Amino acid sequence: MSTIKTAVNRRSFLKVSAAAGGGMLLGFGWLSSCAREPETGLEIPESWTDINAFLKIGDNGVVTIMSPNPEIGQNVKTSMPMIVAEELDVDWQKVVVEQAGLDTEKFTRQVAGGSQSIRQSWKSLRTAGATARRMLMEAAAKEWDVPVSELTTEQGTIHHKSSGKSIDYGAVATAAATLEVPEEVELKDPKDFKIIGTSRKNVDAQEIVTGKPLFGLDVQKEGMRIAMIAHPPAFGQKLKSFNAEEVLNMPGVEQVFAINAAPEGIELQWSDTNAFPELVAIVGRSTWEVMQAKKALSVEWETAESPESSVGHEAALSELMDKAADEPARRDGDPGKAFQGAAKVIERTYAAPFLAHNTLEPMNFYANVTADKAELEGPIQTPASLRKTVAALLGMEEAQVSIMLTRMGGGFGRRLYGNFGSEAALISQKAGVPVKLVYTREDDMTQGTYRPAYKVKYRAALDADNNLLAFHVRGAGVHGSPVFENRFPAGAVAHYLAEHHDLGSNISTGAWRAPRSNFMAYAEQAFIDEIAEVTGQDPIDFRLQLFEKAQQSPVGENNDYDAARYAGVLKLVKEKAGWGKPTPGLHRGVSAYYCHNSYVAQVVDVEMQGSTPRIKKVWCAVDCGIVVNPDAARNQIEGGIVDGIGHAMYSAITFKNGSPEQQNFDRYRLIRNSEAPLEIETFFVDNGIDPTGLGEPSLPPIQSALANALYRATGQRIYRQPFVSENEVLG
């Protein structure tokens, strides 16, 4: 049990009031919760509507939690309320969660990104539940005239054991609302958790499988029109002119006009990354009619910048690999001298292409802009940034712009960038009607915000006894280097050098699930495996030796990982997979990586069926601290593994004269059901540490574990993604 202050600062202090018709409302300026719809048959008091940012306890004992956080499929809509319910000590079946809209005055970090939702909200959510529980107990103690220390709670009921009295939360909620908020409260000892650490079903599951309206594409409003956009076919082009006459005569088409989502003089947010702000908008009655009009629209584009191609990026990145950076990102010891005196130097270069996000739900947003306000609704990971941009573009105050969040049909970083929301607002303003902007798959795949193309060169210096003397990494990427200079093996090698290069481009890029790590884990861990082979060591033993060095005598002071926890997941996956035991017909690879504050190690078994690899099983060990909802956590891990395998094996965006050559799934290859692992087994480290990231950490290391397994299966190292284009044996 631990004690925690209830008020972080004056702005985030708890606000208490009595609910109309009885009950207790606790508003938390720092509550980053998630939403759940009422259970079927659960009686909800009618007086509890239209309230934001609160934990509410009704006179019937039902608890409602508003959720500021966007739900992107990471299941925080279930897990975050579990945290509150745990400390409140309430029956989980009496918890209702509702999705809140954007409200930066009442909520903080209304963002879905960086695998940070649970980590950032862990203490505040627990404090929310514990504070409400304490106040309810104080109200009961007053009514019974007994010390609050003599009271206990269980599933929404307060007990006084010596007198045999008991009372439900709902019966004292109104009285509790009149009490002062305690300055500090006690949080449960994790060993006493009853809800946290148990598996609970996704609270939206029934609505999802029965097709209930939850997503942005489901939004339907009175008077709403459908809008679509046309943007240049190639990067480096912009709008010159268009002829709308033919289109305006087509069925259902009402308006055709140009918009500029990035006019001069407007301060844009980092999330406004967009290569094509000058667009032609088509507004009409139905999706089909507008889509047909878009195909018939005559638009002329002009070249504003030199077109870029994949070949050009490849050559430029390769050129950077031969150049030293002006200033190293990190230097430990004397790597130059160590390499000069080495008995052996291993040098390898790894490359990865641009990747599209390809969310299942296409980009969409609803907007209704009038003279004095703008109402927006849709799937967005960064609603606060979108509101700033929309207000600037429309010439409004932020208070005039409201954004309601819908559940997202995937994001993977794409919906961090809200240009589609801004475009919807501009179209609605100019059309004078509410619109739902819908992208086609081609719109999204050719519009940019891709995972950048990367290249990285590794060098390792060995002495005559095959001991690792020095390590050098130099990385370059479009719009930024992928290198994390303070990650492993930094801290484990006496002589270490890390360098960055940045390649400019008119192709827009953005965060893609596990940014930078999604490439660096593959390259780093594939290279580590190759070093282990050259030194004649088992790949797991070689890594463990490096982690031991980082534990016993770490080099440098800025190492951003815990070597003991790193080694821990590697030892766990080694044990669970039975590493080292003969596996006839199976070829094994291993990988371990740290990102988003969590540690993941994986072993992959591959069987070759002719020239085609079949992934038989993946073992995955995860140290992400306390696991709130084990089933949901396993889903996240398994999804990341399948996603990582598919993109490493098959996916790429290439360009010809600045135009993306892959514009839909006929040419952009995704993993198929038959190519997913037959079995994935996940093991979580039970260490009682506060939760860390979970949505992204399982994706990066699977790529290198697979590459290492494929090497053992084919005898060929893989230095480029996607793997199938690098190694013909893979077919």
Task: Say yes or no: do domains 2-209 and 216-305+363-438 share a fold.
Answer: yes
Residue 48 has pLDDT above 60, yes or no: no
Q: Which pLDDT tens digit goes with each residue over 533-589?
A: 999 999 999 999 999 999 999 999 899 999 999 999 999 999 999 999 988 999 999
- The answer to whether residue 7 scores a pLDDT higher than 80 is no
Task: Report pLDDT for 132.
Answer: 87
Q: Is the pLDDT of residue 511 over 70?
A: yes
Q: Please tell me the least confidently modeled range out of 58-62, 232-236, 319-323, 410-414.
A: 58-62
The string of DSSP codes covering 91-159 is -GGGEEEEE----TTT-S-----TT-HHHHHHHHHHHHHHHHHHHHHHHHHHHHTS-GGGEEEETTEEE
Percent of the chain predicted with pLDDT > 90: 76
The CA distance from 246 to 239, in Å, is 19
Q: Give the DSSP H or E segment for 241.
A: strand 237-243
DSSP string, 616-643: EEEEEEEE-SS-S-HHHHHHHHHHHHHH
How does residue 52 score in pLDDT terms, banded at 50, 70 and 90? very low
Residue that the structure tokens 């990747």 belong to: 355
Distance CA 328, CA 331 (A): 7
Taking alpha carbons only, the member of 636, 707, 693, 722 closest to residue 120 is 693
Write the CB contacts of 548 (distance below 8 Å, at least 6 apart in sequence). 563, 567
Band of residue 63 on the pLDDT scale cut at 50, 70, 90? confident
- Place 23 in a pLDDT band, splitting at 50, 70 and 90: low
Q: Residue 4: is its pLDDT beyond 90?
A: no
* Per-residue confidence (pLDDT) for residue 627, from 0 to 100: 96
Mean pLDDT in residue range 484-493: 98
- Predicted confidence at residue 69, as pLDDT, reads 84
Q: Where are the domains of the chain?
A: 2-209, 216-305+363-438, 323-354+451-730
**Higher per-residue confidence, 449 vs 1:** 449
By the 8 A CB rule, do 543 and 526 touch?
A: no
- Listed ranges 19-23, 58-62, 309-313, 454-458; the one with the highest mean pLDDT: 454-458
How many whole angstroms separate alpha carbon 152 and alpha carbon 163?
12
Distance CA 420, CA 435 (A): 12
Placement of tokens 């013909």 in the chain: 728
Residue 5 has pLDDT above 90, yes or no: no
Which residues make Cβ contacts (< 8 Å) with residue 30, sequence separation at least 6? 8, 12, 107, 108, 124
pLDDT exceeds 70 at position 590:
yes
Q: Model confidence at 204, in pLDDT bands (50, 70, 90)?
A: confident
Strand, helix or coil at 190?
A: helix
pLDDT at 40 (0 to 100)? 42
Q: Which pLDDT score, from 0 to 100, does residue 6 have?
A: 64
Contact 636, 694 (CB under 8 A): yes
DSSP letters, 456-502, are EEEEEEE-TT--EEEEEEEEEEETS----TTSTTTTTSSEEEEEEEE
What are the backbone angles phi and psi of residue 225, rounded to the nearest 5°? -115, 160
Question: Prior bond to 697 cis, omega within 30?
Answer: no
The CATH class that applies to domain 323-354+451-730 reads alpha beta
User: What is residue 25's predicted lDDT score, i.e. its pLDDT?
Assistant: 54
Q: Is the pLDDT of residue 253 over 60?
A: yes
Q: What average pLDDT does range 105-128 have in this prediction? A: 84
More confident call, 637 vs 50: 637
The pLDDT of residue 75 is 87
Cα(606)–Cα(244) distance, integer angstroms: 56
Give the CA angle between residues 256, 257, 259 to the nearest 5°: 140
In tens, the pLDDT along 347-383 reads 999 999 999 999 999 999 999 999 999 999 999 999 9
- What is the pLDDT, as a whole number, of residue 109? 82
pLDDT digits (tens, 9 = 90+) for 642-701: 999 999 999 999 999 999 999 999 999 999 999 999 999 999 999 999 999 999 999 999
Nearest-angstrom CA–CA distance, 218 and 212: 8
Residue 125: pLDDT band with limits 50, 70, 90:
confident
* Residue 134 to residue 149: CA distance in whole angstroms: 10
β-strand 24-27 against 15-18: which pairing, if any?
Answer: antiparallel
Assign 258 a pLDDT band (cuts: 50, 70, 90): very high
Write out the CATH class of domain 216-305+363-438.
alpha beta
Q: What tens digit of pLDDT does each residue of 161-194 get? A: 999 999 999 899 888 888 888 889 999 999 999 9
- 617: β partners: 605, 679
pLDDT, average across residues 139-150: 96
The answer to which of 31-45, 273-287, 511-525, 669-683 has the lowest mean pLDDT is 31-45
pTM across the whole model: 0.92
Band of residue 270 on the pLDDT scale cut at 50, 70, 90: very high
Quote the CA–CA distance of 648 and 655 in Å, as a whole number: 19
Mean pLDDT of all residues in 519-535: 98
Tell which CATH classification among 3.90.1490.10, 3.10.100.10, 1.20.1440.230, 3.30.365.10 matches the domain 2-209. 3.30.365.10
pLDDT score, position 117: 85
Q: What is the C-alpha separation between 329 and 484, in angstroms, rounded?
A: 9
pLDDT of residue 101: 84
Given a cut of 90, whether residue 51 has pLDDT beyond it is: no
Q: Extract the tokens encoding 43.
A: 């009686």
pLDDT tens figures, 68-87: 788 888 888 889 889 989 99
pLDDT of residue 672: 95
721 contacts 669 by C-beta, under 8 angstroms: no
Flag whether pLDDT at 530 surpasses 80: yes
11-15, 284-288, 350-354, 518-522: range with lowest mean pLDDT: 11-15
What is the C-alpha to C-alpha distance for residues 629 and 199, in angstroms, rounded to an integer? Answer: 5
Mean pLDDT on 582-602: 96
